[in-house]
Chain A
Amino acid sequence: MDGLAQGLTFGFPTMHKEAGERRDFLPPLIHLLADLGCEVFVESGIGSGMGYRDEDYLSSSRVHVVDEDSAYRQDVVVVLRAPIGKFEKVRRGATLISMLHFPTRPTRVRHLKELGIDAVGLDTIEDDEGRRLVVNSKAVAWNGLEAAFEMLERRWPQLTSPARAPVRVTVMGAGDIGKQAVEAATKYGNAERSDLLRRYGVPGVEVVTIGRNLTSDDAYLWRRLSATDVLVDATQRHDASVPLIRNDWLRLLPPHAVICDLVVDPYLLDADPPTVRGIEGIPQGNLDRYTFDVDDPGWDLVPPQVPTGHRRAVASCYSWPGVHPKRCMELYGKQLAPLLETLVQRGGLAGVRPDGSFHERALHRGSLRARPHPVAVGELVHT
């Protein structure tokens, strides 16, 4: 193993994003690479958002704590969210592994190619069936629902009463995120809360999930909205220029209802065609701020052309997995470990064969080498 890994170095810079973004790769992944014989360079302060110290990463003499530039100057650079504005720090010919969203970022793809970076998109590493290998849709659903139920409890104290009827959740969209949302909703987005309420004999949650063939049925949706305590948007729309739920329909929701936004569509009204959010007139949050009461100043940031007259409390976040950073990075670390092991075994990306082992094939699919022509399509972009 040492022979293959000889000379291959890894860099782990930190992300330097919004204050709420506390994620970095955790020590076990770094230790794994060092155990495989690689020199690993982590940026000083890595993991500090989750309570780790530099010393926690120093498992062997092969791990080095360095500054940001040095972390970027390695053969393989691994950083969770795309290092916008820092691509130039990566050496020509080096490998960058990150959530790069090639399909929706054609300009970025061109830029990476111009810089000669051998990039791998974490979000485009897929198995033979097209399933992502580094993905945390479970955290999108659970963290979003957890925030939504916390808001519901504040607005509707009966939530914890044994005398109440079952809570009614409607999940729009039955794709991967929607599927996870169903399970999360049956547990109030939080298994401990679920256990507690069950012990007190409080009736549970009835989750109704509907796909495109019912979300396009206006009359059905109106009836459904009036019987909904938590409305979850987990849709992947074919036409992002038209909202699924018009703002005036929100008046049909009970006043205490909460909207849980698991989709990250922005408002892009100047684009052609424009992009609007699936539920019209709700604000978009991030890791610094992801819950919005009806009088929250966050509503003022919605473009003025978008109607916001009918409001319900909203939970929305550009990056739901980051709400519980350690849990999230434990999962990403586990998912990434066999891929990095394969990369090391093959002596770097140049040795990865498109028809090689399961993980080689997946890595190749995720790389820019496999994508000569980027095509822009809409997709969920949670990291």
Chain B
Amino acid sequence: MHKEQGERRDFLPDLITHLDRLGAGEIVLEGGYGLGVGVPMDAYLEVSGRARVGSYGECLDQDVVVVLRCPEQEELRRLRPGAVLVSMLHYPTRPDRTALLADLGVRAVSLDAITDRSGRRVVENLEAVAWNGVRAAFREIQRRHPHFDHPSRRPLHVTCLGSGGVGSWAAFAATRYGDPQLRESLVATNVPGVEVTVVDFDLTWHEDYMFGRLEQTDLLIDATRRADPSRPVVPNAWLAALPADGVILDLACDPYDLEVAPPVVKGIEGVPHGSLDGYVFPPEDDAYDLIDPRIDTTNRRLALSCYSWPGLDPVGSMRTYGEQLEPVLSVVLGKPAGDWGVNGASQVERAVARAEVSRWMGSRRG
């Protein structure tokens, strides 16, 4: 993907098998493909006689280009007009890139825009966001808690802000320390478990309640999806109530962007914004210096934040995405992009057609 060093994801050989079965004429894999997920090139070449190794440029020169995270804009210009690009393209928040793809005549299909009839994303991995984040947070707690695995310790208290797609997975994962094996071993030795308290927007406004809750919290999770991202759910001043050894986990991963109107801030004010290269931030971490000085960072706790939590488990993440992608690719290779019908007979075809950039832009224009 040519992203940060910590981004190790590539699709697994199962997807190549599927493309072969669909009758792809040639499947070009960039040299080194799969190394980050521990899969040797031979494993890809074995599953399809039509697979071969090529350069990055050759990959971009194909009729259909499949890559999880979107290439940079100069790389997009190398795509052929009429080529199909299947990737996470985030049309609503990347208007320049979306317009560029349309101008280039690329038949882009944004994976994050493929939704079923009820508007639910077909290609997503909220489960991995929650599990990977919660697992990382409990590892930090385990490292610091003097009696983490002792039967005499009290139950750990987790407060999860938000009960939607990510929040409900986060609560689930937190009852299991984000790690089923760790949970089994602690259950076997009678170590008290985890009490997870979930509060949503109809309670997070209640300052008195929130102060009381924060005082009892060992791990505070932001899994909110705010209607108004210009205001934090937990202002930095409230973090003073969190115990000194409390840990903050940012699963929402909204950025700080004070230059747009209205501005965007994180749900928990003053938490650094992490990536796969760095996602654990002790209070003295240099990452706090990179936060816009207009953001209050006075009250600090150990914080975890990552732009791409699923990337922490690259194999699991790509297994899920690969599985979800199979029906999408069946449509993409099944007929020319111009023939995909937003009113087609197949549910998947309709979903893919809606996520194709020209039709998506057309629907926005009304």
B116 to chain A: which residues have CB within 8 Å?
334
Q: Which of A1, A183, A209 has the most chain B CB within a 10 Å cutoff?
A: A209
Chain A contacts for B167, CB-based, 8 A: 182-183
Q: Is the CB of A341 within 8 A of B209?
A: no
Task: From the candidates A127, A198, A206, name the one contacting B197 in the complex (CB within 8 A).
Answer: A206
Residues in B neighbouring A334, C-beta threshold 8 A: 116-118, 347
Q: Is the CB of B345 within 8 A of A32?
A: yes
**The 6 residue pairs across chains A and B that have the minimum distance between CB atoms:** A213-B193, A204-B202, A211-B175, A204-B203, A174-B175, A186-B200
Q: Which residues of chain A have C-beta atoms less than 8 A from B195's C-beta?
A: 208-210, 214
Contact A357 B327 (CB under 8 A): yes
> How far is B249's CA from A36's CA once the two chains are assembled, in angstroms?
49
Alpha-carbon distance between A214 and B192 when the two chains are bound, in angstroms: 6
The answer to whether A210 touches B193, judged by C-beta atoms less than 8 angstroms apart, is: yes
Can you give 18 contacting A-B residue pairs, CB < 8 Å? A128-B323, A129-B320, A179-B169, A203-B206, A204-B203, A206-B197, A206-B198, A207-B198, A208-B195, A209-B175, A214-B194, A217-B155, A220-B192, A334-B118, A338-B346, A341-B346, A357-B21, A358-B323
- Contact assessment for B196 and A338 in the assembled complex, using a CB-CB cutoff below 8 Å: no
- Interfacial chain A residues near B345, Cβ < 8 Å: 1, 32, 35-36, 341
Report yes or no: A211 in contact with B176, Cβ–Cβ below 8 A.
Answer: yes
Query: CA separation between A16 and B98, bound complex, in Å?
Result: 53
- Interface positions, chain A 165-199, Cβ under 8 Å from B, are 165-166, 174-175, 178-180, 182-183, 186-187, 194, 197-198
CB < 8 Å: which of B117, B155, B197 contacts A214?
B155
For residue B168, CB closer than 8 A to chain A, the reply is yes
- Contact in complex: A213, B183 (CB < 8 Å): yes
Contact with B along A104-135 (1 / 0, CB 8 A): 00000000000000000000000111000000
Give chain B residues whose Cβ lies under 8 Å from the Cβ of A311.
Answer: none
With A204-B199, A209-B172 given, can you name 10 additional A-B contacts, CB distance below 8 Å? A35-B345, A166-B203, A182-B198, A186-B200, A194-B202, A209-B171, A209-B197, A217-B155, A220-B155, A341-B347
Whether B192 contacts A213 by the Cβ 8 Å rule is yes
* A205 at the binding interface (Cβ < 8 Å): yes
In the assembled complex, A359 has its CB within 8 A of some CB on chain B:
yes
Closest chain A residue, CB of each to CB of B164: A183
B210-242 interface mask toward A, CB cutoff 8 Å, 1 = contact, 0 = none?
A: 000100000000000000000000000000000
Pick from A35, A205, A211: contact of B194, CB below 8 A. A211
Band of interface residues on B: 35 or more
Q: Which of A214, A217, A338 has the most CB of B within 10 A?
A: A214
The listed residue with most A CB atoms (<10 A of its CB), out of B163, B164, B194, B197, is B163
Q: How far is the CB of B331 from chain A (nearest CB, A)?
A: 11
User: Could you tell me the distance between the alpha carbons of A1 and B168 in the complex, rounded to whole angstroms?
Assistant: 41
B323 and A182 contacting across the interface, CB-CB below 8 Å? no
**Residue B330 is within 8 A (CB to CB) of chain A in the complex:** yes
Which residues from chain A contact B330 at a C-beta distance below 8 Å? 357
Complex CA–CA separation, A177 to B319 (angstroms): 24
A22-39 interface mask toward B, CB cutoff 8 Å, 1 = contact, 0 = none? 000000000010011000
B326 in the interface, Cβ–Cβ < 8 Å?
Answer: yes
Residues of B within 8 A of A174 (CB): 171-172, 175-176, 196
A358 touching B327, Cβ below 8 Å: yes
Q: Is the CB of A206 within 8 A of B203?
A: yes
Name the residue on A nearest B193 (C-beta). Answer: A213
Judge if A302 is at the interface, Cβ distance under 8 Å: no
Q: Distance (Å) between the CB of B169 and the closest chain A CB?
A: 7
Are B346's CB and A182's CB within 8 A?
no
A380 to B18, CA, bound (A): 34
Q: Which has the most chain B C-beta neighbours within 10 Å: A187, A198, A358?
A: A358
Instruction: Determine the distance from Cα of A210 to Cα of B174 in the docked complex, in whole angstroms.
Output: 10
B35 cross-chain contacts in A, Cβ below 8 A: none
User: Shortest beta-carbon distance, B342 to chain A, in Å?
Assistant: 15
Contact, CB under 8 Å: A210 / B175 = yes
Inter-chain contacts of A338 with B (CB < 8 A): 327, 346-348
**Which listed residue (B171, B199, B347) contacts A206, Cβ 8 A?**
B199
Docked complex Cα distance between A182 and B173 (Å): 13
- Given contacts A129-B320, A178-B172, A205-B203, whether A217 and B164 have CB atoms under 8 Å apart is no
| Per-residue interface assignment for chain A, residues 272 to 303, with 1 indicating a CB less than 8 Å from any chain B CB and 0 otherwise | 00000000000000000000000000000000
